[in-house]
Amino acid sequence: MNAKEQGEESVKIVIGELAKYHIGCAILLTDNEPYDFIVIYKGRLLKAQVKSSSIEGGQKEVVSNSVKFKCCTSNWHKRTVKKYKPGDYEVMFFVDMRDYSIYLVEAEKTFGIRTFTIRTSPSKNGQIQACNMKEDYLLSQDRIEAVFDKI
């Protein structure tokens, strides 16, 4: 699966999961926007971006007990990298392609950075400060309400 196919698959996974929570979605006709689809939540329209864990050389990118997600977009032909900024989207979803876990992250935590790392298990040295733990971002009804209701 190439990067474009993986991205499209990730969007389908997120939309399918949101349907389980009775949340509607609207799909774009082109891929020229800085967001992937529209979430319809309590009568409001929210721009959503989806990123999946990287696959390099056929291997899923895993660093110790964590998974990394790119928070930027790149154009291979122009050799440019663009970091996202406020207004590009309201919510970010990450899909861990190892087990299809879905994480919901507040947009402001992803602006201006290249990667966002989520720890899937505690660190060996017990560090918890500055760690984005899986349990804090895993998609659930409570997480949806906590993030969407404050937008």
- Give residue limits of the domains in the chain: 3-148
Average pLDDT of span 126-147: 92
**Overall pTM surpassing 0.85 (yes/no):** yes
Task: Considering the domain delimited by 3-148, tell me its CATH architecture.
Answer: 3-Layer(aba) Sandwich (3.40)
pLDDT band for position 65 (50/70/90)? confident
Judged against a pLDDT cut of 50, whether residue 102 lies above it is answered with: yes
Tokens 């009804």, residue located: 141
